[in-house]
Amino acid sequence: QKEVEQDPGPLSVPEGAIVSLNCTYSNSAFQYFMWYRQYSRKGPELLMYTYSSGNKEDGRFTAQVDKSSKYISLFIRDSQPSDSATYLCAGKTSYDKVIFGPGTSLSVIP
């Protein structure tokens, strides 16, 4: 079993839709959880960083962590064509080891 799993998509939604991206993990040593966005031919960039279970909101983005079920979600409200990218979820241990999921490809259609 891979440590971090995501549905690879591709996911295609109309502009303005609410997007839900999901991720599961198996490594109980993860203490921090991140969502990275990766545009084509670019390196990943951090979108959201969370430490505990619960919700964290930043503008149109909400990250949700449920440690009891080892489930992580990212919600994007009012999606825009500029949100079209691959979204990588990742877990990090207390000793700074980051494990990435395979990513979900998202297309937002104008």
Partner 1 sequence: EAGVAQSPRYKIIEKRQSVAFWCNPISGHATLYWYQQILGQGPKLLIQFQNNGVVDDSQLPKDRFSAERLKGVDSTLKIQPAKLEDSAVYLCASRRFKLLAGDTDTQYFGPGTRLTVL
The residues binding partner 1 (CB under 8 A) are: 4, 8, 32, 34, 41-46, 49, 88, 90, 96-98, 100-103
CB of 110 to partner 1, least distance (A): 26
**Given the complex with partner 1, which of 21 and 34 has the nearer CB atom?**
34
Q: In a 3-state reduction of DSSP, which class is residue 83?
A: helix
CA geometry: angle 107, 108, 110, nearest 5 deg? 135
69 Cα distance to chain centroid: 16
**Given the complex with partner 1, which of 12 and 18 has the nearer CB atom?**
12
**Given the complex with partner 1, which of 17 and 73 has the nearer CB atom?**
73
| 60 conformational bin, left if phi > 0, alpha if psi -120 to 50, beta if neither | alpha
**Given the complex with partner 1, which of 41 and 68 has the nearer CB atom?**
41
What tokens were used for 70? Answer: 């080892």
For residues 21 and 87, is the Cβ–Cβ distance under 8 A?
A: yes
CB of 38 to partner 1, least distance (A): 8
CB of 42 to partner 1, least distance (A): 6
